[in-house]
């Protein structure tokens, strides 16, 4: 492509505000009828029978929604099923010899593993038998503390098979975090591993697990997966069991899947709380599995013949819903990648997409901004034509990153689904249906059919289009959390509102409040602005950090930005911007001026940054979220807070020194 043609294309993409899905995609999409929104609204809640119909039920449900005790809503009551059987057994006749999981590990010269549905079924059964032999009974919580290795989804499905809820703890979390979660869940069983590889190097993991176990207040039976082979000789205590030995002892064993009530717990997932005490989000078998399956089919367009790639970690809800349960319930081939997207080279992800001919790619805006920073030459050196759909998850994506993704990864032939949802919602809530809706870069899109999402003010009144307000969900949905484990009171306090002085028995009075700010367009497209506490109050004007960050990243040469508020004698708070430039661009005074002008143009002088700080990295947690609290400490000259949860703690002092010197 000539330079002039490329420039014309860039200009056209920059101006375009809406994108229609390609006709070739629509022709084969799972959902193409735009009347689905009206149909679901008119037939609510029975519309969700379509989600339940994607599953095999041991006993049919008799009620779609029981809303007699709000906000403790129940779905598909009277029905029973097993999640493991839905993800494995029912596919054996037609897809037994097809790949269920494609696992790509490190080091890259190591042979990767393919599990057919039949092979996965066999190993899940053998480990389920082993867990029963260890004493795991129905309703016992089993903690899984593992990285992206195949034994993690095997253990999840084995737990589901015997009716034991699992609680996955992200492998990057500390020993204290593991102990806290095991104590909160009264979990007497742990499955972990000796270690794993990161950027080609073996990392010990069992030592951290053992340290965590020392803080657990009860006895624990521990299963250890040997991932590192001879790279790490780990000690085994009396109550530690080798995974391979356990499975070998159960070779050929089958375990009948336990029929679970639709409202029985499938898993716990602990998420951070504002009080510092993690919250045990409870997801149930019928509602959650139907939601993960329906959204996977309708939004990600998953078909059994696909090779589907979600580049998340199973330690987070995205991996639960859209690497394990949703894709396997739909009978597709789901991919797992142990490594990082830039090892051994910055084209590693595109190498994988090309080699496995992936049809969908679902990843985070954080990763997309990194791809932009590295440059388009990396994806351009690979054949990505197998991709049919792209998705983003985890945070809002700014329009510039969206258009880069659309052009360089999708070749302008793939719809992009920008999805808003949470651990608590179980699956996607706001996004376009790729075979139906136009896409609007920077806007997640309309709520999914059957969802009542409104943007309201403090009094619960809907705000006018274009005005910022609070995002609320005004009707229950099947994938919703049922409560916080052993803490119904906190569940109500943290997530639910009534706009009256007293609690109400009327389900219509209860509103789910996820604590995100948003605005809505005239035609119902919702732009999520970030957490309501991610707001800067400049001279009485409340400015969302996401909106300012989008304006900054819209400036040519900017790869990523984080905005925080800092103390100001006159304004109360002022805007401080921390910026990463793309390769080939300098973080100099001229770039700072272009950034300030970009903010002035997009939002107005009120949002003008007080200071622009250029940095090679931003402080991020191991899940990729920017730790803005530390950036606020730097802006205010305060003592720096705890950096132990960061994956790059050294960058904080580097940024602080740079600000001080400037």
pLDDT tens profile 612-627: 999 998 888 766 678 8
User: What number of CA atoms fall less than 13 Å from residue 506's CA on the CB side?
Assistant: 7
Is a pLDDT exceeding 90 seen at residue 441?
yes
pLDDT confidence of residue 177: 86
Running DSSP on this structure, what letter comes out for residue 309? E
* CATH homologous superfamily, domain 453-528: Luciferase; Domain 3 (2.30.38.10)
Lowest mean pLDDT among 227-236, 389-398, 415-424, 521-530: 227-236
Percent of the chain with pLDDT over 90: 68
Partners of 530 in the β-ladder: 517
Taking residues 587-605, report their average pLDDT: 87
What 3 state SS string does 512-568 have? ECCCEEEEECCCCCEEEEEECCCEEEECCEEEEHHHHHHHHHCCCCEEEEEEEEEEE
Query: Using CA atoms, how far apart are residues 253 and 120, in angstroms rounded to an integer?
Result: 13
pLDDT confidence of residue 275: 47
> Collapsing DSSP states into helix, strand and coil, what is residue 424?
coil
Lowest mean pLDDT among 91-100, 141-150, 509-518: 509-518
pLDDT per residue as tens digits for the range 315-368: 999 999 999 999 999 999 999 999 999 999 999 999 999 999 999 999 998 889
pLDDT confidence of residue 533: 65
Nearest CA-CA partner of 82 in 35, 25, 125: 125
> Regarding the domain delimited by 534-661, which CATH topology (the fold level of the hierarchy) does it fall under?
GMP Synthetase; Chain A, domain 3 (3.30.300)
The pLDDT-based confidence of 635 (bands split at 50, 70, 90) is: confident
The pLDDT-based confidence of 4 (bands split at 50, 70, 90) is: very low
pLDDT confidence of residue 5: 44
Direct distance between the N- and C-terminal alpha carbons of the chain, in angstroms, rounded to an integer = 42
Highest average pLDDT, of 375-384, 509-518, 596-605, comes from 375-384
Is a pLDDT exceeding 50 seen at residue 380?
yes
Running DSSP on this structure, what letter comes out for residue 19? B
- The H-or-E segment that residue 195 falls in is strand 195-198
Beta pairing class for 279-284 and 265-271: antiparallel
pLDDT confidence of residue 434: 98
Q: Break the chain into its structural domains and give their ranges.
A: 97-259, 453-528, 534-661
- The H-or-E segment that residue 117 falls in is helix 117-134
Beta pairing class for 511-512 and 496-497: antiparallel
Is a pLDDT exceeding 50 seen at residue 12?
yes
pLDDT confidence of residue 199: 86
Angle between helices 175-185 and 206-213 (to 10 degrees): 50
Percent of the chain with pLDDT over 70: 94
Q: Where are the beta strands (DSSP E) in 393-540?
A: 416-418, 453-456, 469-473, 483-484, 496-497, 511-512, 516-520, 526-531, 535-538
pLDDT confidence of residue 623: 62
pLDDT confidence of residue 245: 96
Contact between residue 615 and residue 582 where contact means Cβ atoms under 8 Å apart: no
Taking residues 195-218, report their average pLDDT: 92
Q: Is the dihedral of CA 380, 99, 428, 294 positive or negative?
A: positive
* pTM reported for the whole predicted model: 0.85
Nearest CA-CA partner of 68 in 513, 504, 452, 514: 504
Is a pLDDT exceeding 50 seen at residue 608?
yes
Running DSSP on this structure, what letter comes out for residue 420? B
Taking residues 460-470, report their average pLDDT: 88
Cis omega (within 30 of 0) for bond into 45? yes
pLDDT per residue as tens digits for the range 162-174: 999 999 999 988 8
Mean pLDDT taken over the chain: 91
pLDDT confidence of residue 283: 98
Highest average pLDDT, of 298-312, 512-526, 619-633, comes from 298-312
Supply φ then ψ for residue 648, to 5 degrees: -135, 60
pLDDT confidence of residue 108: 74
pLDDT confidence of residue 273: 54
Contact between residue 198 and residue 344 where contact means Cβ atoms under 8 Å apart: no
pLDDT confidence of residue 2: 40
pLDDT confidence of residue 13: 57
Tokens read off for 58: 């041991």
Tokens read off for 7: 């420039």
Nearest CA-CA partner of 372 in 346, 392, 352, 395: 346
Lowest mean pLDDT among 130-134, 228-232, 446-450, 480-484: 228-232
Is a pLDDT exceeding 50 seen at residue 548?
yes
pLDDT confidence of residue 542: 62
Supply φ then ψ for residue 355, to 5 degrees: -65, -40
Is a pLDDT exceeding 50 seen at residue 1?
no
Q: What architecture is the 97-259 domain classified under in CATH?
A: 3-Layer(aba) Sandwich (3.40)
Taking residues 14-33, report their average pLDDT: 91
The pLDDT-based confidence of 382 (bands split at 50, 70, 90) is: very high
């Amino acid at each position: 492509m000539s330079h002039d043609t490329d420039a014309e294309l860039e200009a056209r993409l920059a101006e375009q505000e809406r994108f229609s899905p390609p006709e070739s995609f629509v022709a084969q999409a799972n959902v193409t009828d735009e009347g689905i929104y009206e149909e679901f609204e008119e037939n609510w809640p029975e519309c969700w029978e379509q989600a339940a119909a994607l599953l095999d039920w041991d006993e049919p449900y008799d009620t779609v929604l029981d809303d007699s005790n709000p906000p403790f809503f129940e779905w598909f009551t009277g029905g029973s099923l097993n999640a493991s059987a839905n993800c494995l057994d029912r596919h054996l006749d037609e897809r037994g010899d097809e790949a269920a999981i494609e696992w790509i590990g490190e080091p890259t010269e190591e042979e990767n593993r393919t599990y057919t549905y039949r092979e996965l079924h066999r190993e899940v059964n053998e480990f389920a038998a082993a867990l029963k032999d260890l004493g795991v009974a129905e309703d016992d919580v089993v903690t899984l503390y593992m990285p992206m290795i195949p034994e993690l989804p095997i253990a999840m499905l084995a737990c589901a098979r015997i009716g034991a809820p699992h609680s996955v703890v992200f492998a990057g979390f500390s020993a204290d975090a593991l102990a806290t979660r095991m104590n909160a869940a009264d979990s007497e069983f742990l499955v972990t591993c000796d270690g794993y590889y990161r950027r080609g190097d073996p990392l010990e993991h069992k030592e951290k697990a053992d340290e965590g176990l020392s803080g657990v207040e009860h006895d624990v039976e521990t299963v250890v997966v040997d991932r590192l082979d001879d790279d790490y000789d780990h000690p085994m205590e009396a109550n530690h069991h080798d995974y391979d030995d356990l499975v070998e002892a159960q070779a050929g064993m089958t375990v009948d899947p336990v029929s679970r009530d639709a409202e029985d717990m499938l898993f716990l997932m602990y998420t951070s709380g504002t009080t510092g005490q993690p919250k045990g989000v409870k997801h149930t078998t019928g509602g959650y599995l139907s939601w993960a399956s329906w959204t996977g089919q309708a939004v990600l367009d998953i078909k059994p013949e696909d090779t589907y790639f979600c580049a998340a970690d199973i330690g987070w809800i995205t991996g639960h819903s859209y690497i394990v349960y949703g894709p396997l319930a739909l009978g597709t081939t789901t991919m797992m990648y142990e490594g990082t997207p830039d090892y051994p080279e910055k084209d590693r992800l595109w190498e994988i997409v090309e080699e496995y001919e992936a049809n969908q790619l679902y990843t985070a805006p954080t990763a997309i901004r990194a791809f932009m920073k590295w440059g388009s030459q990396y994806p351009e050196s690979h054949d990505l034509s197998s991709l049919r759909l792209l998705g983003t998850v985890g945070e809002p994506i700014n329009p510039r990153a969206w258009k880069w993704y659309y052009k360089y990864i999708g070749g302008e032939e793939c719809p992009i689904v920008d999805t808003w949802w949470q651990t608590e919602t179980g699956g996607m809530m706001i996004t376009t249906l790729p075979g139906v809706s136009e896409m609007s870069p920077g806007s997640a899109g309309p709520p999914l059919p059957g969802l009542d999402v409104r943007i309201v003010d403090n009094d619960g009144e809907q705000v006018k289009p274009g005005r910022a307000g609070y995002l609320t969900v005004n009707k229950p949905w099947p994938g919703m959390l049922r409560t916080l484990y052993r803490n119904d009171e906190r569940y109500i306090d943290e997530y639910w509102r009534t706009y009256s002085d007293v609690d109400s028995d009327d389900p219509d009075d209860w509103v789910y409040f996820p604590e995100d700010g948003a605005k809505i367009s005239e035609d119902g497209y919702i732009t999520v602005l970030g957490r309501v506490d991610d707001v800067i109050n400049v001279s009485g004007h409340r400015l969302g950090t996401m909106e300012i960050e989008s304006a900054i990243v819209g400036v040519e040469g900017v790869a990523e930005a984080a905005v925080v508020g800092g103390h100001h004698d006159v304004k109360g708070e002022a805007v401080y911007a921390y910026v990463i430039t793309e390769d080939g661009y300098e973080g100099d005074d001229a770039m700072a001026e272009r950034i300030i002008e970009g903010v002035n143009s997009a939002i107005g002088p009120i949002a003008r940054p007080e200071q622009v700080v250029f940095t090679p990295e931003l402080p991020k947690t191991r899940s990729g979220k920017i730790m803005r609290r530390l950036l606020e400490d730097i802006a205010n000259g305060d003592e720096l807070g705890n950096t132990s949860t960061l994956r790059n703690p050294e960058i904080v002092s580097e940024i602080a020194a740079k600000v001080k010197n400037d």
